[in-house]
Amino acid sequence: MPLRRLALPASLAATLVTSLAGVASAGPLPLPPLPLLSPPDSLTVAVTGSGNPEAEGSWKLTCDDRPGGDHPAAARACERLAGFARSGEDPFAPVPADRMCAQMYGGPVTARVTGVWQGRRIDARFSRANGCEIDRWENMEPLLPSVRG
């Protein structure tokens, strides 16, 4: 079958060329992560200093078609992480250095989360050293254990 030319009015053709040139000069458009092309979420959570044997330890968590690993709350943790992904939040981002935080102490417990989430490498540390860090920790429950006193 022979190719046919599409005849457009000159004004429409000029508008299309101008629009496409504007898009091209703006650079590539950001694309959302492609779950089919990304590896499944796979995280290691290590918690120390809680004083509670049930909240201490290191667990693996995978979130794919169904939760896996030995994380004690795998299904709820994967559900929480999926909520962050849907809303476009980065739950692993540190507290901004210039944020004012209440000077309250939530205890010596610390956590480190490493692995891959939404196709990117994660190496995040959590503590309960002040009000902002306590909020950040509690926002990550049940990925991180509840250690409220």
Its sign, for the CA torsion 76, 92, 138, 46, is: positive
- Which residues share a beta bridge with 43? 61, 115
142's tokens: 């049940």
Q: DSSP character for 106?
A: -
pLDDT (tens digit, 0 to 9) for every residue of the chain, 149 residues total?
Answer: 454 444 545 554 455 445 445 545 555 555 455 445 567 899 999 999 999 988 999 999 999 888 999 999 999 999 999 999 999 999 999 999 999 999 999 999 999 999 999 999 999 999 999 999 999 999 999 999 999 86
pTM of the model: 0.73
CA-to-CA distance for 124 and 128, rounded, in angstroms? 14
CB 133 within 8 A of CB 101: yes
CA atoms within a 13 Å half-sphere pointing along the CA-CB vector of 114: 4
CB 63 within 8 A of CB 41: yes
End-to-end CA distance of the chain: 76
CA-to-CA distance for 74 and 71, rounded, in angstroms? 5
Query: What homologous superfamily does CATH list for 41-139?
Result: Subtilisin inhibitor-like (3.30.350.10)
Residue type, 54: E
146's tokens: 């509840």
